[in-house]
Amino acid sequence: MIFVIISEKTYITMNKILLKAIVFVFSTFVFLQCTKETASEPEPIVITEPVSTDPNVGCTDAAATNFKSTATEDDCSCKYDYVSRVSTKTPQDFTKKVLMEEHSGTWCGWCPLAKETSNKLTINPRVISVEIHYNDEMTADKDKIFTPLKNKYGYPAWPSGMVNRRKSIVGSTYIIGESDWSVNVNDLLQTEKTAAGIAIESSLNGNDLTILSHVKVHTATDETYGLGIYLVEDKVAGFPQANYASRNSLFQKYEAYNLPTMIDNILHQNVARDAIAPLIGGLNIPSATTKNGKIYKKLFKITLPSSINVKENCQIVAFLMNQKTNEIINVQIAPVGQLKDWD
């Protein structure tokens, strides 16, 4: 065994060096731990949309929380006191859907044939129908629904209807007889995708309905677009339907042939109860959407009409139309209180 004898001065110096080394190691450890903890919890980055300084540009909706009273041009910046669940990301293109606006009435003995054709066509989820009743117990506010359509397209026949408000491909009229619905619908269904889409969300509190609609247009256009909205009630019961096809040999291919002359237990599908946004021309979609691709949002608040039997059967049918021609570009449907995201 070898012993090393050192002086007291050397001993003290060595202790100081050792103490410094311990302090350095401890400080380094603490620093690294603090750095690690800090790195795992970074400060949140808040991204805010630029606000236009132009007094004429901004949110033009008085119901929005950021309404700009001087604005005459809407820049799609409106914010609402509503927690949205619609995705902020949209698909590259949207599913093309078709709207059938059917003229009907319980007194119309040929209408069971139209209802049957409509039910078959709407098995396809890309086909959406609305029954517009006239002169029966289900007739909605004529000034908001029947009259604007009549003033634009003329008096309809019963049954008849419009398919995307496009002229029939087997004729020259917008109002089309039931026998030509299928060929017109199927022609439109050949186009599977479109650049314009709609998302819908809503909440129902008693009889108070709040709707937040979303519109996105991917491809810039010089055309002006409008948003129309129907409130419909599905599966309406309690209103017997006349049936002229009962035991009529000319209509043996229809189910109505085997039904009585008055169908008591019929369910009327998607009956128009209200127009929440104008049906002709629609609510103007800002150029910030049609030209610059911004998402346009609009909040609606209504009280359900007293004519509604079962409010849980209500649905929102929102459609985008060309304001010049009123031809429908795309349409979306969502049950009240439920979300229908982009598709």
Domains delineated in the chain: 60-335 (2.60.40.10)
- Cβ-based neighbours of 41, under 8 Å, separated by 6 or more: none
Q: What pLDDT score does 107 carry?
A: 98
Using omega within 30 degrees of 0 as the cis cutoff, is the peptide bond preceding 305 cis? no
Burial of 187 (0-12, 13-18, 19+ CB in 10 A): middle
For the chain, state the CA radius of gyration: 32
3-state DSSP helix/strand/coil % of the chain, to nearest 5: 25, 30, 50
183: three-class secondary structure by DSSP: helix
pLDDT in single tens digits along all 343 residues of the chain:
444 454 555 444 555 555 455 545 445 544 445 444 444 444 443 334 566 788 899 999 999 999 999 999 999 999 999 999 999 999 999 999 999 999 999 999 999 999 999 999 999 999 999 999 999 999 999 999 999 999 999 999 999 999 999 999 999 999 999 999 999 999 999 999 999 999 999 999 999 999 999 999 999 999 999 999 999 999 999 999 999 999 999 999 999 999 999 999 999 999 999 999 999 999 999 999 999 999 999 999 999 999 999 999 999 999 999 999 999 999 999 999 999 999 9
φ/ψ of 19, rounded to 5, equals -65, -40
For the entire predicted model, the pTM comes to 0.85
What are the distances in angstroms from CA 171 to CA 38, 75, 115, 191?
72, 41, 22, 21
Contact 194, 96 (CB under 8 A): yes
